[in-house]
Amino acid sequence: MIRRLTQEDDKSCQELLSQKPAENLFIIGDIENFGYEQDFQKLWGDFGENARLKAVLLKYHNNYIAYADENFDAEGFAALINQDPEFMQLSGMKAITEKILPHIVHYPKKTRSLYYAKCNHIKKLEMEVDTTYVKRATVNDILRLVELQNQIPEFEEDSSREHSIRKGMENNSARTYFVEDGPKMVSSASTTAENSMSAMVVGVCTHSDYKQKGHASACMKKLCEDLLSEGKLLCLFYDNPEAGSIYKRLGFEDIGMWMMHIYETVEQPTSI
């Protein structure tokens, strides 16, 4: 049986989601930040025998994410998605999304798949890395961080970058570690979507003039050490084996593929 979740379901919901804090990083974080009663966020649960919660579907604005620890009513989740005119994206672990996809009636625009990895322990790097010169950024460093990220060819253009970084630092859902050369920030590694159990690693980069000096590895090692010491599991996406090999030296291990299925907006009927 599928029904809307409320604050009264929080204990059951957290018990289910906390079994896989990496896979459920976004759902856990959104519940902690926004709860169950927001206009832009809704949650549904699929309940099995003995009224046990076995699957959760989150709507955050126009994006849906699902999680289940056993067989669930994928067609029922799809029916909720299909009737939402705001729907534009279905995200989640491949094992979950591939069960919902056959029942989605909207026209797909594009699909992106990324390797998803987690780390709950630090292994010794193949090469010793000095982290004593790595600093943690404050709001006073945001403009330098934006300047660095804007110079990284692999990063997409983002006019809201400064606002997003500032908001993350102010609400403690994000942090950045960096290396500088005089007034210039030359390498950094950041988190986003931090919650009580996990955090997503993003924005690992080095200015082209400072590559092959171990700066990114130093930022990553310091970031990982600090968050793991706080009891937080670390997660990250990567899209090629070369990048993955770097993270695996730090102790990250693959847990599956994260899928992002983008859909066309739904045409609304014209009023007469």
> How many C-beta atoms lie closer than 10 Å to residue 118's C-beta?
21
Average pLDDT of 150-160?
91
Look at the alpha carbons of 201, 207, 212, 214 in this order and tell me if their dihedral is positive or negative. Answer: negative
Domain pair 2-115+258-263 / 122-250, same fold: yes
Domain boundaries, the chain: 2-115+258-263, 122-250
Cβ atoms of 99 and 186 within 8 Å: the answer is no
> d(Cα 147, Cα 144) in Å, to the nearest integer?
5
pLDDT at 246: 80
Q: Is residue 40 classed as helix, strand or coil in its secondary structure?
A: coil
- Supply the DSSP symbol for 157: P
DSSP string, 46-81: EE-GGG-EEEEEEEETTEEEEEESS---HHHHHHHH
Band the pLDDT of 271: cuts 50, 70, 90.
very low
Q: Please determine, for residue 268, whether its predicted confidence score (pLDDT) is greater than 70.
A: no
- Domain range 122-250, its CATH number among 3.40.50.1860, 3.40.630.30, 3.10.129.10, 3.30.70.360: 3.40.630.30
| Superfamily classification of domain 2-115+258-263 | Gcn5-related N-acetyltransferase (GNAT) (3.40.630.30)
Q: What is the mean pLDDT of the chain?
A: 92
> d(Cα 173, Cα 33) in Å, to the nearest integer?
9
Band the pLDDT of 111: cuts 50, 70, 90.
very high
Taking only the tens place, the pLDDT of each residue in 24-66 is 999 999 999 999 999 999 999 999 999 999 999 999 999 999 9
